[in-house]
Amino acid sequence: MTPRTLGFIGLGVMGEPMCANLAAKSGARVLCHDLDAAPMRRLAERGAVPADSLRALAHEASVVFLCLASAQAAESVVEALAEAWQDGEGGEGGRTVVDMGTTSVLATRRMAERLAQAGHRFVDAPVARMPAAAIAGTLSIMVGGTVEDVSALMPHFRCMGSDITHCGGTGAGQVVKILHNTVLFEAVQALAEAMAVARAHGVDGAVLLDAIELGSADSRAARVQGREALLPRHYPEGRFATRYALKDVSLALELAQAAGLEAAMARETAATLRRTIDAGWGDRYYPALYELVSAAPPRDRAND
């Protein structure tokens, strides 16, 4: 049965359009909450209902979606929701929390256990693709949870994404998302290295990308990050920042360590991202690692 009221917490670059799509397409009443009032005002014009506090949202929502920047923030919100529900907010019956951010598997399982002890459910459902896909409702969503819980949530996922993959039990969605991102970052570093070498030998970067796209090395990374960022050396703020990329690769290394694996490529990419941050590019689009890989003098970032 479709819940009468949904909640959405975390209205950043991805969360705001995801919440807007949920409000427009789900047929449910959608409450939204963020520490910043501005996205709540914008969403109020698109059919969502701002909630003044987490407790106010918990009082009505039977399913709560999270899209937060860190595991610490997610765990803090889950604890606040659990306490509100323990105090009688939200009526009788188990509630469901859906974490759509990228969170460590260890934190994911802690949150799932905390909610299970209180009689509630937890599903991890991190997303991939650009902010434009969040706006269009065409995200890729990787889900971890029971078949029953995922099936119940599927109509809501389809409001926000065009490709939904049930990856397995609790934490499996995070494993797949973390590794997905790490493969992408490794590919972008490989492209950056190839472009730097090509340019050093007098070959135009566009020619290199043309050839890559016609051969077996063709990839979405070449067509998007290659064309839009590495070729023009353009790394705007507001896209996936270098510091977030390092966070995700670090989570992959955590998974590798737990499995007793070296993950040498991920380790090298993490080191490059760390040097990129140290050089002052931490808030810029992560293909800025090219500036370190190429050892080229950085452009005037103020004019980007």
Mind listing the pLDDT tens digit for each residue in 125-182?
999 998 999 999 999 999 999 999 999 999 999 999 999 999 999 999 999 999 999 9
The full 3-state SS of the chain, as one line of letters, equals CCCCEEEEECCCCCHHHHHHHHHHHCCCEEEEECCCHHHHHHHHCCCCEECCCHHHHHHHCCEEEECCCCHHHHHHHHHHHHHHHHCCCCCCCCCEEEECCCCCHHHHHHHHHHHHHCCCEEEECCEECCHHHHHHCCEEEEEECCHHHHHHHHHHHHHHEEEEEEEECCCHHHHHHHHHHHHHHHHHHHHHHHHHHHHHCCCCHHHHHHHHHCCCCCCHHHHHHHHHHHCCCCCCCCCCEHHHHHHHHHHHHHHHHHHCCCCHHHHHHHHHHHHHHHHHHCCCEHHHHHHHHCCCCCCCHHHC
Given a contact cutoff of 8 angstroms between Cβ atoms, the answer to whether 31 and 54 are in contact is: no
Smallest CA-to-CA distance from 97 within 211, 163, 165, 9 is with 9
- Residue 91, number of CB atoms within 10 A of its CB: 10
pLDDT at residue 303 greater than cutoff 60:
no
pLDDT band at 89 (very low <50, low <70, confident <90, very high): low
- Domain range 5-168, CATH architecture: 3-Layer(aba) Sandwich (3.40)
Q: In this predicted structure, what is the pLDDT of residue 269?
A: 98
Given a contact cutoff of 8 angstroms between Cβ atoms, the answer to whether 90 and 55 are in contact is: no
pLDDT band at 87 (very low <50, low <70, confident <90, very high): confident
Q: In this predicted structure, what is the pLDDT of residue 1?
A: 37
Residue-range domain boundaries for the chain: 5-168, 176-303
Q: Quick one: average pLDDT of 196-222?
A: 97
Q: Quick one: average pLDDT of 175-194?
A: 98
Q: Quick one: average pLDDT of 109-119?
A: 96
Q: In this predicted structure, what is the pLDDT of residue 296?
A: 53
Tens-place pLDDT, residues 50-77: 999 999 999 999 999 999 999 999 999 9
pLDDT at residue 88 greater than cutoff 70:
no
Q: What is the dihedral of CA 265, 269, 275, 280, to 10 degrees?
A: 180
pLDDT band at 300 (very low <50, low <70, confident <90, very high): very low
- Evaluated on CA atoms 163, 164, 168, 173, the torsion sign reads positive
Q: Model-level pTM?
A: 0.91
The tokens 């590794």 sit on which residue? 179
Domain 176-303, classified CATH 1.10.1040.10, yes or no: yes
Given a contact cutoff of 8 angstroms between Cβ atoms, the answer to whether 25 and 137 are in contact is: yes
Smallest CA-to-CA distance from 46 within 14, 13, 24 is with 24
Cα–Cα distance list, 176 to 99, 172, 200, 290 (Å): 14, 6, 36, 26
Q: In this predicted structure, what is the pLDDT of residue 21?
A: 98
Tens-place pLDDT, residues 254-268: 999 999 999 999 999
pLDDT band at 301 (very low <50, low <70, confident <90, very high): very low
pLDDT band at 3 (very low <50, low <70, confident <90, very high): low
pLDDT band at 4 (very low <50, low <70, confident <90, very high): confident
Q: In this predicted structure, what is the pLDDT of residue 297?
A: 52
More confident site: 302 or 98: 98
With pLDDT > 70 as the criterion, what percentage of the chain qualifies? 94
For residues 41 and 35, give the distance between their C-alpha atoms in angstroms, rounded to a whole number. Answer: 12
pLDDT band at 295 (very low <50, low <70, confident <90, very high): confident
